[in-house]
Chains A and B, each alone.
Chain A
Amino acid sequence: MCWKESGSTACNPSLKTIMIQNENKTTNIWDRDNECMSRDGLETLQLERLQQTLKRVNEHVPCYQNKFSALGLSVADVQSLEDLRKLPFTTKEDLRLNYPYGMFAVPMRDVVRIHSSSGTTGKPTVVGYTRNDLKIWTQLAARFMTAAGVTPDDIVHIAFGYGLFTGAFGLHYGAEEIGASVIPISSGNTDKQIMIMQDYQSSALVCTPSYAMTLADRMEKQGIDPHRLSLKVGLFGGEPWSEEMRREIEQRLGIIATDNYGLSEVMGPGVAGECQHQCGMHIFEDHFIAEIIDPETGEVLPRGSIGELVLTSITKEAFPIIRYRTRDITRLDYEPCACGRTHVRMMKTMGRSDDMLIIKGVNVFPTQIEEVLFQVEGCEPHYQLVVERDGTMDTLEVQVEVNERIFFDEMKKQRAFVNMLEKRLLSILGVGARVKLVEPSSITRHEGKAKRVIDKRNS
């Protein structure tokens, strides 16, 4: 499979200027010693920690023991970071097969917290944390939240659901570590969220990007001007979102919108986070090793390629994970960042390798469609893809919710708009799509993640 280079990842200059004016640049690095360590020092540390981790999993986790011995591998064979690619991948299926505690590397008496990922298909996956794991997680959350601009003066509004999902707890402890005031409002009840934002003067918003849009929509409906709230920064994660969506959220809510990355199988939020330059998320490489592979062949791709992100944890005790296939499609940038951090930057995820739709033999990511919709002025990302099979032919329908900016009273103009969208989609996707305009709020919204694709081909 061939992965095309994505667009420019240059820093956002206007925002950079604002940040430099508003913030003392030297104050938003939480752990300078580790975040700005020399590459040489970092790689030495990584290898040392990797070898220790491999030794531990080989002793305590039968799944890894079996995988290594099946390949005739000894952990002593890993003598350099390059040797990592000799090791087998770990997949979500491995975690399911070892449900619930089979992948734990410590006895349960050492586990102080259990989280679980959403089991959208089959059994959920269960992860555990030792006291030390929680300490590290808290530190890493504090790192990316500080990088986003959160300070002890902030009131952090956490609208992720509290529960088995790692999102809320990760940022909760990170914010407390920084010394900010935490509002653990959890998810749901949008009207109450808005009331609390107004009354409690929330200054930092934590939720999924699509929920940030839901909040903006509701405020608009209620005649509330978000620019008059105390909000200044948003920390959004939990689902892929585009640069255009970022700009729309920033403009509508009057905040700086930052991205962060994490997944429960690897730790939760705090695997990577954006600095003020907004040119990718620094992966905290003193705790994780990142690789990019071809999702079809599993081969490690050359630096700068787009492919599936594979992560190895190198400090976790309860639930170490070796070469975990995240299914997230991204690209890594090793160029030094202006912020001074030396850690590699991962670009916004461009979709999931298992969200990738193959339509008439062409690879299509829902995020590509999102980009097109945003480029068309004023188009909000309320869309849904419906894939069907008509005989032997795949058909793709893109349903777009109409709004005042893309609604015309003249049929001629309305038709021209639909035709223009169809043309752009064809040129970006390389496969034809029918655009259907639908009424506002007719596409099902979820308080958390947005369902973008309905594939009727296998039903």
Chain B
Amino acid sequence: MATNTLKMGIATPSVNVLITSFYHSILGETMKVEQISIFIENKSGRLAEVTQALGDSGINIRALSLADTSDFGILRLIVDKTDQAKQSLKERGFTVNKTEVVAVEVPDCPAGLAGILKVLDAGNVNVEYMYAFVERCGGNAVIIFRFDDPEAAIKVLTENNIHVLEGERVYGM
């Protein structure tokens, strides 16, 4: 996982409070971020083909993570135009799935991520995997989380005043 690439500054966990009490299930949908995952056989040139296909369709990659085994890899991407990206990759014969992840603003300081994971743990939410976002959000880092239960995760995070970024905002970053 790509968490070790995240640079943390030195400060105590600070939190951006933008959204307050009334969201939860209603806002849960817009709070989630759409991610596409692509099956890639472990052979030369495949990653280049995926990125070329996206480039040809004028799609910009916002964040990515690659999990691999000796046979195959799973490439996960957040892009500015999800449906268009999925379509264009399918047309080139790739197997593509769409999943929902959550983008969380993380204070860029030591223990910034630890504080958030503690909150999630206390709320009994499991992290399947996570990876860092390229862009920062107002001085804070952004981490993409795949949770077993995204709704519960969003609820726990927002209740603890941790900022979850809306999908629309993430695609345009």
Contacts of B94 in A (CB 8 A): 439-440
A438 to B41, CA, bound (A): 6
**Dominant secondary structure of chain A at its interface with chain B:** loop
Give, as a whole number of angstroms, the nearest-CB distance from A331 to chain B: 37
Give Cα A380–Cα B95 distance, bound, in whole angstroms. 14
Given contacts A402-B39, A409-B146, A410-B128, contact A440 B99 (CB under 8 A): no
Q: Is B109 an interface residue (CB 8 A)?
A: no
Given contacts A407-B97, A411-B69, contact A437 B74 (CB under 8 A): no
Q: A439-B39, A439-B41 are in contact. Are A408 and B97 (CB under 8 A)?
A: yes
Which bucket holds chain B's interface residue count?
A: 20 to 34
Q: Is B56 an interface residue (CB 8 A)?
A: no
- How far is it, in angstroms, between the C-alpha of A412 and the C-alpha of B72 when the chains are bound? 13
B71 partner residues in chain A, CB cutoff 8 A: 436-437
Once A and B bind, how many residue pairs between them come within 8 Å at the CB atom?
52
Report A49 CB to chain B, min CB distance, Å: 54
Known contacts A409-B35, A410-B128, A411-B69, A440 near B74 by CB under 8 Å: no
Q: CB distance A409 to B37 under 8 Å?
A: yes
Contacting pair A441 B97 (CB below 8 A): no
| Across-interface contacts of A442 in B (CB, < 8 A) | 41
Evaluate contact between A414 and B74: CB separation under 8 angstroms: yes
Determine if A132 is an interface residue (Cβ-Cβ < 8 Å). Answer: no
In-complex Cβ contact of B74 among A403, A411, A438, A441 (8 A): A411
Per-residue 0/1 for B7-50: is the Cβ within 8 Å of any A Cβ (1 yes, 0 no)? 00000000000000000000000000001010111000010000
A402–B96 CA distance with the chains assembled, in angstroms: 10
A402-B99 contact, Cβ under 8 Å, with A409-B146, A436-B71: no
Least CB distance from A414 to B in Å reads: 7
Q: How far is the CA of A88 from the CA of B74 in the complex (A)?
A: 58
Q: What class of interface size applies to chain A in its complex with B? A: 10 to 19
Chain B 83-126: CB-based contact to A (< 8 A → 1; otherwise 0): 00000000001111101000000000000000000000000000
Are A439 and B95 within 8 A (Cβ)?
yes
Cβ of A457 < 8 Å from any Cβ of B? no
Kindly provide the distance from the CB of A380 to the nearest chain B CB, expressed in whole angstroms. Answer: 12
Measured in the bound complex, the distance between the Cα atoms of B35 and A442 in whole Å is 25
CB-defined contacts of B72 to chain A, threshold 8 Å: 402, 414, 437-438
In whole angstroms, how far apart are the Cα atoms of A409 and B37 in the complex? 6
Give every chain B residue within 8 A of A414 (Cβ-Cβ). Answer: 72, 74
B67 CB-CB contact with A under 8 Å: yes
Q: Complex: how many Å from CA A441 to CA B69?
A: 21
A408 / chain B contacts, CB cutoff of 8 Å: 37, 74, 97
| Interface SS majority for chain B | strand
Residue of B nearest to A434 (CB): B71
Residues of B close to A439: CB separation below 8 A: 39-41, 46, 93-95
CB neighbours (8 Å) of A402 from chain B are: 39, 72, 95
Asked whether any CB of chain B lies closer than 8 Å to the CB of A404, the reply is yes
Q: How far is the CB of B87 from chain A (nearest CB, A)?
A: 11
Q: Are B95 and A409 in contact (CB under 8 A)?
A: no
User: Which of A405-419 touch B at CB < 8 Å?
Assistant: 407-412, 414-415
Does B129 touch A at the CB level, under 8 Å? yes
- A441–B99 Cα gap in the complex (Å)? 23
The verdict on A409 contacting B76 (CB below 8 Å), with A403-B95, A436-B71 known, is yes
Closest to A438 in B: B41
> Residue of A at shortest CB range from B101?
A409
Q: Decide if A437 touches B67 in the complex (CB within 8 Å).
A: no
Q: How far is the CA of A439 from the CA of B92 in the complex (A)?
A: 11
Residues of A within 8 A of B40 (CB): 439
Nearest to B1 among chain A residues (CB) is A411
Q: With the chains together, A409 CA to B146 CA distance in Å?
A: 10
Q: What are the interface flags for A409-451 relative to B under an 8 Å C-beta threshold, 1 for contact and 0 otherwise?
A: 1111011000000000000000000001111111000000000
Residues of B within 8 A of A404 (CB): 95-97
Q: Cβ of B97: which chain A residues have Cβ within 8 Å of it?
A: 404, 407-409
* Contacting residues, chain A, for B128 (C-beta < 8 A): 410, 412
Which residue on B lies nearest to A406, using beta carbons?
B95
Tell me whether B39 and A411 are in contact (CB under 8 A).
Answer: no
Tell me the smallest distance from the CB of B100 to a CB of chain A, in Å.
10
Indicate whether A410 sits within 8 Å of B39 (C-beta atoms), given known contacts A436-B71, A439-B94. no
In the bound complex, do residue A415 and residue B93 qualify as a contact, i.e. CB atoms below 8 Å apart? Answer: no
Beyond known contacts A404-B95, A414-B72, A437-B39: 16 more, CB 8 A cutoff: A403-B95, A409-B35, A409-B37, A409-B99, A411-B129, A412-B128, A415-B69, A436-B71, A437-B71, A438-B41, A439-B39, A439-B41, A439-B94, A440-B95, A441-B93, A442-B41
Chain A interfacial positions (CB closer than 8 Å to B): 402-404, 407-412, 414-415, 436-442
- What are 9 A-B pairs at a CB distance below 8 A? A403-B95, A410-B128, A410-B129, A411-B67, A437-B39, A437-B72, A438-B72, A439-B46, A440-B94
